[in-house]
Amino acid sequence: MTNVSERQKDALIEVVNIAFSRAGASLSELTGHRVLLDVPQISIRPIEELERALTGLMKGEVATVHQVFGGEVAGDACLMLNQEGAVHLTNLLTDKTEKRDRLYESDREVLSEVGNILLNACLGTFGNILKVHITFAVPRMRLEAVNEFIDTLLVEDKGIRHCLIISADFHIKEAKITGYMIIVLGVSSLELLLQAVDGLG
């Protein structure tokens, strides 16, 4: 298990907060609504503990926007919302007022774009502090149970991996929608990231 000091964790929170500010500005520009993202909470766990952690946070089917990234730092990244939160978020961003309990095709496109902006902002900021180029696959949006999502992360298991679980609370039109970003990294990628944030102090 990689030990993470409080200083490293605080530095990681600051880096993610910078990324969230950029993502909020991009989403505000895209939608014409002021979008703010709270200062995140971050925990780092071995991937074996991910299912237990997420089932405590998310119930039922979840909407996931999943993006694989590569380069000197490689892994999986995902934005996750429960279905009710995903519907509420897309309604707020697109000014829909009718009551709905499921995501339509147009909503999936909006959610994919939100995930794309947030994940790219976060991973791009990581790339900047590491001074490495990170490549992104096209994000894919799915509705699935938490255990099904975790199975997709484990399909190409490449040794010991750790997860950053990052809270992502959106504030739009006086509403708050809670989601989570999951970033899965191999040990070497996580060590690189922690060394880089150590150098920010």
> 150-201 pLDDT, tens per residue?
887 765 556 668 999 999 999 998 899 999 999 999 888 888 888 888 877 5
> 122-144 pLDDT, tens per residue?
999 988 888 888 898 888 899 99
Position 158 scores a pLDDT of 61
> Angle at CA 18, nearest 5°, toward 14 and 21?
135
CB-based contacts of 123, cutoff 8 Å, min separation 6: 67, 69, 77, 134, 136, 183
Q: If you search the block for the tokens 């995930």, which residue do you land on?
A: 115
Which residues, in sequence order, are bridge partners of residue 183?
77, 164
Asked whether 83 and 63 are in contact (CB, 8 A), the reply is yes
For 71-100, give the DSSP string.
ESS-EEEEEEEEHHHHHHHHHHHHT--S--
Q: Which residue has better confidence, 80 or 173?
A: 80
Report domain extents, the chain.
Answer: 6-198
The dihedrals phi and psi of 173, each to the nearest 5 degrees, come to 50, 50
- Interatomic CA distance for residues 150 and 156, integer angstroms: 11
Query: Considering Cα of 54, then 58, then 60, then 63, what sign does the dihedral take?
Result: negative
Pick the CATH number of 6-198 from 3.40.50.1220, 3.40.1550.10, 3.40.50.1000, 3.40.50.620: 3.40.1550.10
Instruction: Kindly state the tokens that stand for 167.
Output: 């809270």
Q: Which amino acid is at 81?
A: L
Position 104 scores a pLDDT of 84
Asked whether 179 and 27 are in contact (CB, 8 A), the reply is no
